[in-house]
Amino acid sequence: MKAIETTATINSQGQLALDFPLASTHNRRVRVIVLIPEEGDSDDTLADDPDDDPIELVAEGIREGWQQALTGKTRPVAQLWDRLDVERSPSSSQLHRAL
């Protein structure tokens, strides 16, 4: 079984309207799990997912990275890991300002 996470809206008839079409090559029945925000949750609970970047932002990042690779504007992986370690350290704000 394959899992797909997406968002949808429940209309006045109680039916789901998906925000984006699912990539499927077959007409078939599926199982659906619906997560509904509870009382007190903000209306933007689903939109606040930090891992859910808009597709345009992701595509732009890929284009930018590809262009940098083509023009030789790259950094050694070790340098990138060192920078990640600095950003995660407790005094990262002080070190980041020094950079």
pLDDT at 95: 47
β-sheet bridge partners, residue 83: none
pTM of the model: 0.39
Q: Region 55-83: what's the mean pLDDT? A: 86
CA distance 99 to 88: 14
Query: Would you put residue 17 in left (φ > 0), alpha (ψ -120 to 50) or beta?
Result: beta
Residue 94 has pLDDT above 90, yes or no: no
Q: How confident is the model at residue 48 (pLDDT cuts 50, 70, 90)?
A: low
Listed in sequence order, the DSSP H helices in the chain are 55-70, 77-88, 92-98
pLDDT at 15: 94
> Where in the chain are the domains?
8-74
In terms of pLDDT, which residue wins out, 64 or 90? 64
pLDDT at 76: 84
